[in-house]
Each structure stands twice: as C-alpha cells, then as structure tokens.
Amino acid sequence: MVCNFVPRPLEFHPRAIKVPYYHSNVDSDEVMFYFAGETAARKGAGIVTGSVSLHPAAYTHGPVRAAYLDSVNHTKATEMAFMVDTFRPLGIGEGARACDLPDYPWTWAGRGPRKETNE
C-alpha cells in the first residue's frame, strides 16, 4: 500500500492534536521517504529531507514529545513524503545498514539505550 503526505491544512479546532497519534502497524512494515518540506512530527529525531525511516510491524511510533506539545499552534503541514506499507516482512540490505541511525528508535522513549558499565 502506498500513502502520500502532501502540504495540507490541519484540523481547525483550537485544541486539536495535529500530529499523528502513537500507533503500530501490526500487519505491515512501514517505510517512509521524506523528500521535501518540514516533518514536524519527527523534528529533532534525525529525520530530514532525503531520510528514509523503517518502522517494523508492531513497532509503536509517533511524534516526538515537543511536536506533540507544539501541535496546537500549527495550521498546516508542509511535509512531502510517501510511505509504503508492506504485507510481508522486509529484509534490510547493506545500504540500509550502512546509513542506520542507531539512536533513532530511542526518540520515542525520550532517552537512549542503557550503557554497559564495568563496575
């Protein structure tokens, strides 16, 4: 399934949350390519123009905390991206492994992985 994200007006209610809610696609892997505009929901998470993200099936994801809190001030979305939801698991090739951002999955937790200590 292919989904397009294009510039658009957002919800009009003054207290509406205007970024995507936290969710998990239990039936599919989700790959998203960001090719223009600002991706407000992932701002500060390493997602910029030219980024590709992968959210494996059942991986819960959504906006960064700051985007969620600031969403009431937004009136339009300027992102341009497309997403592919697969119905079979994806394999990760050498090219994807070479440009992986290991801290990206932690942007939902608000912290990083626990470091091993030798104490």
**How does pLDDT run across 38-60, given as a tens digit for each residue?**
777 777 777 888 889 888 898 88
**1-10, 22-31, 41-50, 104-113: least confidently modelled range:** 104-113
CATH of domain 2-91: 2.60.120.10
Say if CB 80 and CB 6 are below 8 A apart: yes
Residue 61 tokens read as: 């994801």
> So what's the pLDDT on residue 119?
47
The strand pairing partners of 2, in sequence order, are 84
C-alpha 54/C-alpha 68 separation (Å) is 21
Q: Which of 82, 72, 71 is nearest to 2 (CA)?
A: 82
Measure the CA–CA gap between 35 and 25, rounded to whole angstroms: 22
Q: Which residue has the higher pLDDT, 83 or 44?
A: 83
